[in-house]
Amino acid sequence: MSEKPKVTKPDSKPSSAHAQKPKSSGKPEDSPRITRAVELATSAHEGQLRRTGEPYIIHPLAVKKILEEWKMDEDTIIAGVLHDTVEDTSITLSDIEAEFGDSVAFLVDGVTKLSAVRKHMNDIDTYLPETKDNFLRLMIALGSDIRVLIIKLADRLHNARTLSALPPEKQKKIALETLEIFAPLADRLNMGRLRVELADLAFSYVDPKRFTYLKTLIEEQNKQASRALKQIEQEVSDILKKEKIDFEISGRIKSVYSLHKKLAKHNQNMGEIYDLTALRIIVPDITSCYLTLGLLHSLYTPMNERIKDYIAVPKQNGYQSLHTTVITKNKKIVEFQIRTREMHDYAERGLAASFYYNEQKLTENYKKGKIQHLPTNLLWITELQETAAKLKEGKKIDLKKLRLNLFADKIFVYTPKGDIIDLPKGSLPLDFAFRLHSEIGSHVIGVKINGKMSNLNRRLEQGDVVEILTSKSQTPKTSWLDKIFTSHARQKLRQLLPKS
Ligand code: MN
């Protein structure tokens, strides 16, 4: 193991964006290099104001704080402090390189290029544009060191938090872009906490009425459920203590935007939403995760089709946890999420956490011409980097294909009512059917794709309108296992098949 990054002091609990800031004590001192960067940025932005009327330096300092919360390395934090200096002040890249080294200069340059690309774009449609030049520069900036993207996400988070200072038109534009580009990116990087905050902030500007309605709904449901949840928490705590499993248990509240999306998927039927409130249990190791799952199932009745083992089979972005939905003694339906501390940290901070755990030195590797080592679930980043390298060498690549590749393993198809369902690329009609509901999946007799009769072997394509034909007398068939692509549908089908 190489030495630890200097500023990322491990502590027992990951810091939380929602956590109360310690009053006077507990705030770590900035390192001399960071202190110097703050001085430099403060004097460089002197006299500049934000739209809110505050001194401009508030913004880079907020970005610094976010990057610290994500426990990023010192170079990234310094680059965050300086990220707007080259673009907006008299400080040059060579000034930065001379004082802070080429690593920091490299990161600031990347963020500057990224903003330069953005500046020439007038609206959301041009953000991932057909215009080759912008896109090429965007790719090169993004692909060369993923920390550039992390700084950009911190920048966007603070800008989203302060959106209210902008005129309404601009608010909506930035909010939409945040919802469509940055929140999905955060998701792809498994930065769960960031995704939730970005998406909910943005959604509150994109569709304020819907946002308020759903937010109130969630709060009311939580209020109603809170007493029952307390009791369940107590029962679970008792049994875990008895079995001598070390644990932390807490409530997890569903984000507004994910509820909005889930409702769209389930034809606005609240009865289909089982995870409005969930309890999260954090235990020391994987064995304890499965033990806890077993104990929960001995205590309550599990809803079989809602047991998900994302530890054995992680989500595409690397997310790991055990999920189970149970029916309690008082007939309450509760979802539990069980994970280790490391899995939790990774689910909340994602790529940022993987920097911390892997102690990666990205810029150095990149400059040596090495493609960075990343978790396999983030291979798309490697792909991006390889493409960026090809672009730099002047090799030709199909930009259109690359653009699609950014969100490659997903396709979006429609129900006849127009609801969007996202599925992994390669999915078949039965995957779609089981995704809608097991009841639909188990009674499939045929499928219409784009209004025409089709067959169950036909791979779904981006934009297809899929109509599942069902019959009450139909029963699930073993042969369907060959006509299924997703593990989700396979698991559901297996539960419905007669045990042989
Ligand atoms: Mn900025």
| Most confidently predicted of 139-143, 345-349, 360-364 | 345-349
> Which pLDDT score, from 0 to 100, does residue 417 have?
75
Sign of CA dihedral 137, 142, 143, 144: positive
Which of 16-20, 336-340, 402-406, 417-421 has the least mean pLDDT?
A: 16-20
What does the block give as tokens for 102? 């080429």
Which amino acid, one-letter code, is at 354? S
> Which pLDDT score, from 0 to 100, does residue 371 have?
40
Mean pLDDT throughout 414-432? 81
Could you tell me which of 100, 319, 284, 108 has the C-alpha nearest to residue 195?
319
Domains of the chain, CATH where assigned: 6-191 (1.10.3210.10), 209-347 (3.30.460.10), 358-406 (no CATH), 411-496 (3.10.20.30)
pLDDT at 130 over 50: no
> Which pLDDT score, from 0 to 100, does residue 17 have?
39
Set 46, 69, 88, 219: catalytic member: 88
How much distance in Å is there from the Cα of 81 to the middle of ligand 1?
A: 9
Specify whether the CB–CB gap between 278 and 337 falls below 8 A: yes
In the structure, what pLDDT confidence band is assigned to residue 5 with cuts at 50, 70 and 90?
Answer: very low
Angle at 206 between CA 200 and CA 208, to 5 degrees: 75
Phi and psi dihedrals of 31, rounded to 5? Answer: -70, 160
**Does residue 285 carry a catalytic annotation?**
no
Phi and psi dihedrals of 253, rounded to 5? Answer: -100, 135
> Which pLDDT score, from 0 to 100, does residue 194 have?
93
How much distance in Å is there from the Cα of 84 to the middle of ligand 1?
A: 5
Q: What does pLDDT average to over the chain?
A: 80
Q: What's the pLDDT tens digit per position in 31-79? A: 999 999 999 999 999 999 998 889 999 999 999 999 999 888 899 999 9
**Residues 6 or more apart from 70 whose CB is under 8 A from it?**
150, 154, 349, 352
Separation between Cα atoms, residue 176 and residue 339, nearest integer Å? 33
Set 87, 102, 359, 419: catalytic member: 87
How much distance in Å is there from the Cα of 60 to the middle of ligand 1?
A: 7
| Most confidently predicted of 14-23, 73-82, 264-273 | 73-82
Mean pLDDT throughout 477-494? 88
Could you tell me which of 6, 8, 7, 91 has the C-alpha nearest to residue 42?
91
Which of 65-69, 226-230, 447-451 has the least mean pLDDT?
A: 226-230
pLDDT at 227 over 80: yes
In the structure, what pLDDT confidence band is assigned to residue 407 with cuts at 50, 70 and 90?
Answer: very low
Specify whether the CB–CB gap between 324 and 306 falls below 8 A: yes
> Which pLDDT score, from 0 to 100, does residue 356 have?
59
How much distance in Å is there from the Cα of 218 to the middle of ligand 1?
A: 33
Could you tell me which of 237, 330, 332, 240 has the C-alpha nearest to residue 278?
332
**Does residue 87 carry a catalytic annotation?**
yes
Give percent of the chain above pLDDT 90. Answer: 42
pLDDT at 122 over 60: no
> Which pLDDT score, from 0 to 100, does residue 139 have?
52
How much distance in Å is there from the Cα of 266 to the middle of ligand 1?
A: 38
Measured from the Cβ of residue 253, the count of other Cβ atoms closer than 10 Å reads: 14
The number of CA neighbours under 13 Å toward the Cβ of 169 is: 2
